[in-house]
Amino acid sequence: MNNGKPKIGIYELTGCAGDALLIVDCEMELLDIFTAADIQSFAMAKSDNIDGELDVALVEGSVTTEKEISELKDIRERAKIVVAFGNCAAHGGIQARFDDKEWQENLKKVYGNQKFTHTKPVRSKPIDEFVKVDFYLPGCPVSKEQFLHFLTRMLKGNPPEHYPTPVCVTCKYNENDCLLNNGKLCLGPLTADGCGSVCPNHNIPCFGCWGPVENANAIAELHLLKEKGFSVEEIKKRMANFAGTKLADAIKQL
């Protein structure tokens, strides 16, 4: 703590930076955020960044280079609490959808026999593959309301809100017709709740942008979708879009 304010660091690994940008887009609340917390490091918003001890570290993006592994481990050593901020950090994101063989093939196609001198690339993985993660804040990107809720609770010393149920729960509360029964490839049964089932509310199937819910039964969903006429390849691609390694690895043997 610095003058009673928690020391917070916000870091970006490999991703689109959408989650960090979301914080900057909290225009009306931004001054309050910087007043309530001691923001030690936030490359997108300040230049006088400090690599010191932290109460909370928000880490966005997946790990995609050996340098990022080193950076992440350094953050973990300095921070009391590490938060996987957004789907890339929590689940690997879109860039983690490939297995080792596919990743090697794609790397070869893009870079050929190029030697890497700055840092060596590695297959994209979520941050919990390398360090202990204390909390997960899902979303692609995280919503403004979700982030402000999270930050308020953390500033008061409370754990963040948990999302243990799938999108289907909210979808039923909203009295939507089940899109699976209407022949649409919907990932509502596998996806963490919290978005308010915004896509199904507009008759658009869930694409899983909040990442998989705890104990998601990907195998059962795959068999259900097969029964409804979808191909295994189509199902796998949809499941891997936002969930990265978390669901891709679960179904790769099928």
Q: Any idea which residue has 């509310």 for tokens?
A: 201
Residue 228 vs residues 121, 175, 179: alpha-carbon distances, Å: 39, 22, 12
Cβ(127)–Cβ(13) below 8 Å: yes
Q: What is the pTM of this model?
A: 0.86
- Cα(242)–Cα(254) distance, integer angstroms: 19
- pLDDT for 168-180, tens place per residue? 999 999 999 999 9
By residue count, the chain amounts to 254
Q: Which domains does the chain have, with CATH numbers?
A: 7-155 (3.40.50.700), 167-251 (no CATH)
Is the confidence at residue 239, as pLDDT, over 90?
A: no
pLDDT confidence of residue 246: 62
Q: 25: closest CA among 137, 139, 192, 141? A: 141
- Cα(12)–Cα(63) distance, integer angstroms: 10
Cβ(11)–Cβ(59) below 8 Å: yes
Enter the tokens of residue 76.
């973990």
